[in-house]
Structure 1
Amino acid sequence: MAEPQAPAPLEGSQRMLATLALSLATFMNVLDTSIANVSLPAIAGDMGVAPNQGTWVITSFAVANAVSVPLTGWLTQRFGQVRLFVASVILFTIASFLCGVATTLPMLIAFRILQGAVAGPMIPLSQSLLLSSYPKSMSGTAFAAWSMTTLIAPVMGPLLGGWISDNFSWPWIFYVNIPAGILASWVVWRIFKTRETPTRKLPIDMIGLGLLVVWVSCLQLTLDKGKELDWFNSGEIVALAATALVGFCFFIVWERGEEHPVVDLSLFKLRNFTVATIAISLGYGVFFGSVVLMPLWLQQFMAYTSTWAGLTTAPVGLFAIIASPIVGKNMHRWDARKVASAAFVIFALVSWMRSEFNTQADYWTLILPQLVQGFAMACFFIPLVSITLSQVKPHLIPSASGLSSFVRITCGALGASIFTTMWESRASLHHAQLAESVSNLRPESVMALNQLQASGMSEAQSLGVLDRLVTVQAYTLSADELFLASAIIFLVLTGIVWFAKPVKPSGVAAPAGGDH
């Protein structure tokens, strides 16, 4: 099939409006992956269910979204980029309204599944439409606009969600999407409706789609429910993991031999796509694990409120906002591999700084690594997305972006699960070791107990206070170990990006490989 002719780039105010609308839709999508987290207690209480049942509000969205993201390429060929993107935003907005008016947990979960399913194409297509709006020499600027929304939204989600829950009611975490969705869909349709991509009627690969749904759903459920069910000590988790593995193997074999696959695995023949997808996914997995761990440690063991935990983590976006346009504007003059390597080195430095945290760390000690990390974030997404798409033909960008996003999102979920599980596991070990030093035979312990009892506490209360102090120290030591391990992983990733070929300064084109 002949390669479709790419439309001419947009200019002036039209390009600016398109960038804002696409970024708004992306921000809305990414925000919804984290905004509901802090509102779970309010949702569970309002609906009269246990908090652990309320976690299905998060899981249901994640599972549906994980299934639909890699289908972007196939859906784009069937319906066209512009129609698919606008329909996705409109349906997401409707699903958000339905989530807000849900009166029972099963209703809310059903609407969250709908919301996650229709949200899948939004992020990959926002990349593709942005790239088509800019000249190749300004592709870095396009990536900068996209990366800012992708990086800031997960940080803003808990902060905004907590504020809405404290000052309004939980349905408003979904209602805020309505004006944003209406505005974004209207602007995008007005600007891009004459720039629709060619479509063709493709047969539906029902077997491939079924296998995708099975293995991705089982994998996501394994990651989401593993910690709660004690991982592989649970028969349910063993069954889910085994089904995911078998389903994945069958899926790979089937898709490689299918003429019209739902996921174009042949993209992995492109060296830059494969190398950059591995680097961005592993890096994002470690980054997201830290994003999840920091607020948990602050709230549970440093006596921070939800609002203050949000204010402590939010500055990570400050320098990302400042540095991203600079990196994007100069990306065509720099070697993307050097910029990505710099990001991993800064990430390693930030992780090392966090590994030095202790229970006496003040607010500014905690803030400093967050500020430094903003520079790393600006140098992370822009060059790696550029390398990912550097050998991909324009009409295959939705497929490539969808597949790369799917791997990245999956690694993010895996990173969060590994971090939280290892955190608790290592903390239990440290608690046992530290508790050995608290004994009636040790003078320091006897002195501490006497001082607590002299202040009016009973012996049981005094022992409870000491146990709490030991627990706080144990979880802090565990967090420090994970941050140090993160620093090592980031340094290893610095070398991986150099397996990619250099990206031509003229834009997103590089020596093509494979049959693309």
Structure 2
Amino acid sequence: MNEPTRLKGWRFLLLNGAAGAANVVMLSNVPGYTVLAPYAAGSLQGVTPSYGTWATTDHMIGIALGLPLSRWFSGRFGDYRVLIGALVIYAILSLMCAASETIYFFALMRFFLGLAGGVALPLAQSVTLAQYPDDRRTLGVGFWGVMSMAPFTIGVFMGGFWAEFFNWRWLFYSNVVVVLPVAAVILALFYERGFERRIARFDTIGFLLLATVFVSAQSILNMGNDFDWFASPLLAWLLLVVLLALPTFIIWEFGERRPALDLRLFLHRNFAIATFCSLVGFLVIQGLLSLFVVQLQLLLGYTSSLAGMVYLAMIFLAMAAAAVVHELTRNVDARLIAFFNFTGFAVTFVWLGHYDKSASFDNVTTPMFFFGFSLAMFFAPLATLAMTGLAGERLIRAAEELAMLRTVFGAFGITLLGVVFFRRTPFHQLDLADQFGGRRFASLDLLTAFLDRMQAMGLSPGAAQSRAAQLIRQQAAILALNDAFLLGAMTFICLAGIVWLAYPSYASKKSRQALERLSAEELMEQP
């Protein structure tokens, strides 16, 4: 093995720029695709938008399953070599996604694309941060935090831009244009460098059981609304698979020396509480972000690029917060930061959930500024809490597990919040129809007056009734969207109380432990 030396000067800057660009592109394939999901669904043999979300959630499950593979492959073949291979595979799979003609093939390719991304994402981060001097490592973590926030803002805008002005498939062509040059740059910078081989046992059985549970559970959530849940024989069989595989996985993992998912970590109070808050919180955040950007187009008539501009507003406060939150957590109790951040989420969700009519662009954009700030402050305090009381290899394992489980729960959130919206819409539609037609209040018959006014404006009786039904459906959907945001607000109010059950956070004074914590933080804070 050649003795590695850190990159300096323009080579150091080139690596940061290239790896940061690859990170933004790979993470943007989640929110960036979500905004163009209606376009993709219409193009892929004309399926409904609910089918289009399969490609988002399956992609996130693939990312989660790629994280443990990343550690094992890098130990056997070297960080930068595996990173280059994963980027090349990512480009090939992006072309396969762009060439898809059916939703089933497209969702499968998106899953494998996520798998390649899950291998590449932590390696792009670790390879880059390893080039920072020890006394500047915190600066590198702050830079990477900014890069990790960009996809939630710029990625959504770019996805909408491709869909509206070119074609939704250009999102995947743009992947190729970025990741292949990045792979070439990393190959040139690290050519003929050696690496320290780390051969470790891989829990193949545990990994396969875990993948079975994740994929089956996500398939049930994806297909439930469209296939009438467990009235479908396929979903009933998938439920049986989950019920058999989950206890088998738990029993196997407690008997394994190097498990795929170390369940013993949940015996640590801070890790268990911080992980619970992170998983439930990210479930709500990812679910609302995905639901909102789709309904801005389907419900309120926004173009995809205009919906992307709503999310672009999040970048202004988010970037500043992501740059300083790491230092803040080292001087302030992370429970206090998390408490105020969860409260901020609750206030923002109530703000977004109180509209009873179509809101203007300005009305929607203003609370998104604060949404971006809260999102940037979400990851670091919980990562600090989760690390308290852990050290050494267990600290790194804890970081990997938190990142993996949070990604899975983000995928669950996209479908679960969609179910909330789907179930609440007909409830409000019936309620509005009762009030509009005077069935609830005998003295209030607005429907007749509305139809008379529409006919006086020149509409036929059938067209007037159609307009009334359209108005009721739209208002019902707006109220259902409000319910989803208000449910998210109540969830974060509960989390703001739960976070105080953890022990106070503290920063390690020893340089070795401080570097270990930074390495774990790098993994935990990857959205």
Bin of the TM-score, shorter chain as denominator length: 0.7 to 0.9
What per-residue deviation string (whole Å, max 9, x for no partner) do you get for residues 271-295 of structure 1? 4443332222221111112102222
Q: Is the 8 A contact 1:391 1:510 kept in 2?
A: no
Within the alignment, does 1:24 sit opposite 2:21 as a pair?
yes
Shift of 1:50: 3.7
What per-residue deviation string (whole Å, max 9, x for no partner) do you get for residues 441-466 of structure 1? 73433221110111112222222222
Shift of 1:258: 1.8
User: How many angstroms apart in 1 are the aligned matches of 2:467 and 2:510?
Assistant: 63
Aligned twin of 1:413: 411
Q: Secondary structure at the match of 1:255?
A: helix
Aligned twin of 2:116: 118
Q: Which runs of structure 2 are paired with 1:100-249 in the superposition (5 Å)?
A: 100-101=98-99, 108-109=106-107, 111-129=109-127, 131-134=129-132, 140-189=138-187, 198-249=196-247
User: How many angstroms apart in 2 are the aligned matches of 1:73 and 1:452?
Assistant: 65
Q: Is the 8 A contact 1:427 1:474 kept in 2?
A: yes
Aligned twin of 1:322: 320
TM-score, L = length of structure 2: 0.84
Residue 38 and residue 377 in structure 1: after superposition, are their counterparts in 2 closer, same or farther (change >3 A)? closer
Residue 508 and residue 278 in structure 1: after superposition, are their counterparts in 2 closer, same or farther (change >3 A)? farther
Residue 11 and residue 284 in structure 1: after superposition, are their counterparts in 2 closer, same or farther (change >3 A)? farther
Within the alignment, does 1:355 sit opposite 2:347 as a pair?
no
Higher mean alpha-carbon deviation, 464-473 vs 408-417, is at 464-473
Q: Is the 8 A contact 1:67 1:217 kept in 2?
A: no
Higher mean alpha-carbon deviation, 314-323 vs 134-143, is at 134-143
Q: Which amino acid counterpart does residue 30 of structure 2 have in structure 1?
A: T
Aligned twin of 2:524: none
Q: Which runs of structure 2 are paired with 1:378-457 in the superposition (5 Å)?
A: 378-389=376-387, 393=391, 399-439=397-437, 442-457=444-459
Cα RMSD, aligned residues only? 3.5
Q: Is the 8 A contact 2:334 2:505 kept in 1?
A: no
Within the alignment, does 1:475 sit opposite 2:471 as a pair?
no
Q: Which amino acid counterpart does residue 122 of structure 2 have in structure 1?
A: P
Q: Is the 8 A contact 2:159 2:308 kept in 1?
A: no
Q: Is the 8 A contact 1:152 1:317 kept in 2?
A: yes
Q: Is the 8 A contact 1:73 1:398 kept in 2?
A: no
Shift of 1:90: 2.5
User: How many angstroms apart in 2 are the aligned matches of 1:496 and 1:247?
Assistant: 30
Shift of 1:416: 1.6
What per-residue deviation string (whole Å, max 9, x for no partner) do you get for residues 328-385 of structure 1? 4544333333333332121112112112222153222211110112221221123333
Shift of 1:220: 1.8
Higher mean alpha-carbon deviation, 155-164 vs 461-470, is at 155-164
Aligned with 1:485 (options 484, 487, 501): 487
Aligned twin of 2:525: none
Residue 384 and residue 505 in structure 1: after superposition, are their counterparts in 2 closer, same or farther (change >3 A)? farther
Q: Is the 8 A contact 1:31 1:153 kept in 2?
A: yes
List runs of 5+ in structure 2 lacking aligned partners: 521-527
Q: Is the 8 A contact 1:354 1:480 kept in 2?
A: yes
Higher mean alpha-carbon deviation, 343-352 vs 115-124, is at 115-124
Aligned twin of 2:463: 461
Residue 103 and residue 282 in structure 1: after superposition, are their counterparts in 2 closer, same or farther (change >3 A)? closer
User: How many angstroms apart in 2 are the aligned matches of 1:152 and 1:65?
Assistant: 18
Aligned twin of 1:313: 311
Q: Which runs of structure 2 are paired with 1:83-102 in the superposition (5 Å)?
A: 83-101=81-99
Aligned residues: 509
Q: Is the 8 A contact 2:16 2:128 kept in 1?
A: yes
User: How many angstroms apart in 2 are the aligned matches of 1:270 and 1:82?
Assistant: 33
List runs of 5+ in structure 1 lacking aligned partners: 1-6
Shift of 1:146: 2.8
Q: Secondary structure at the match of 1:358?
A: coil
Shift of 1:421: 0.9
Q: Is the 8 A contact 1:386 1:508 kept in 2?
A: no
Residue 301 and residue 106 in structure 1: after superposition, are their counterparts in 2 closer, same or farther (change >3 A)? closer
What per-residue deviation string (whole Å, max 9, x for no partner) do you get for residues 197-221 of structure 1? 6334345533223212321210121
Residue 78 and residue 506 in structure 1: after superposition, are their counterparts in 2 closer, same or farther (change >3 A)? same
User: How many angstroms apart in 2 are the aligned matches of 1:93 and 1:502?
Assistant: 42
Q: Is the 8 A contact 2:95 2:172 kept in 1?
A: yes
Shift of 1:158: 4.0
User: How many angstroms apart in 2 are the aligned matches of 1:413 and 1:20?
Assistant: 29
Residue 388 and residue 46 in structure 1: after superposition, are their counterparts in 2 closer, same or farther (change >3 A)? same
Aligned twin of 1:3: none
Q: Is the 8 A contact 2:318 2:373 kept in 1?
A: yes
Q: Which amino acid counterpart does residue 314 of structure 2 have in structure 1?
A: V
Q: Which amino acid counterpart does residue 461 of structure 1 have in structure 2?
A: A
